[in-house]
């Protein structure tokens, strides 16, 4: 647990420090996503369940499940969140 805060003066900015570069990465991710979504048209999906044959099913499911989980967690916080020292008495 040493050197908590070494001197940051004169530190060269990193590539990721530039918001423009982060934006580029995010656009790249979006482009990859779009390409993957479109890929469903290019191959025959072997499915176990009807739902899987929906175009882009896994993409939609991944996006939807992720948003649902995070938003559910956010509301769960209203019920479950307590100050850090809640159990320290």
Partner 1 sequence: MMIEFNPGLIMIIGGLFVPLLSGMGRRVLLVALPVAGLAYTIALDPGMSQTTDLFGYTLELLRVDKLSLVWGYIFHIAAFLGVLYAIHEDDPLQGTMAQLYMGSAVGAVFAGDLITLFIYWEVTAISSVFLIWATGTERSFRSGMRYLIIQVGSGVLLLAGAILIVADTGSIAFNHIGIDSLGGKLVFLAFGIKCAFPLLHNWLQDSYPEATVTGTVILSAFTTKLAVYALARGFAGTEVLIYIGAAMTAFPVFFAVIENNLRRVLAYSLNNQLGFMVVGIGLGTELALNGTASHAFAHILYKALLFMSMGAVLFRTGTVKASELGGLYKSMPWTATFCIIGAMSISAFPLFSGFVTKSMILTAAAEEHRWIIWGVLLMASAGVMEHSGIKIPYFAFFAHDSGRRVKEAPINMLLAMGITAALCIGIGIYPDPLYAILPFPVDYHPYTTGHVITSLQLLVFAALAFVWLTISGLYPAETPSVNLDFDWVYRKLLPRFVGWLKSGISEIDRSGRETLLGIVDDIMAFVHRHHGLDGTFARTHPAGTMVFWAVALLGLFLVLYLIA
By the criterion CB under 8 A, which residues form the site for partner 1?
A: 1-8, 11, 14, 16, 26, 29-30, 32-33, 36-37, 39-40, 43, 45-46, 48-49, 51-52, 56-67, 69-74, 76-77, 79-84, 86-88
**CA-CA distance, 89 to 82, in Å (whole number)?**
14
Q: Which is nearer to partner 1, 24 or 45 (CB)?
A: 45
Shortest Å, Cβ 20 to partner 1: 15
3: its two tokens: 């050197």
Residues 11-19: contacts with CB under 8 Å, at least 24 apart: none
């Amino acid at each position: 647990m040493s050197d908590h805060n070494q001197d940051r003066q004169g530190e060269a900015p990193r590539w990721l420090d530039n918001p423009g570069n982060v934006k580029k990465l995010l656009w790249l991710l979006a482009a990859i996503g779009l390409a993957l979504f479109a890929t469903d048209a290019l191959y025959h999906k072997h499915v176990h369940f009807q739902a899987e044959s929906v175009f882009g099913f896994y993409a939609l499911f991944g996006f939807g499940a992720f948003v649902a989980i995070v938003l559910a967690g956010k509301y769960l916080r209203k019920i479950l969140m307590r100050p850090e020292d809640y159990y320290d008495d």
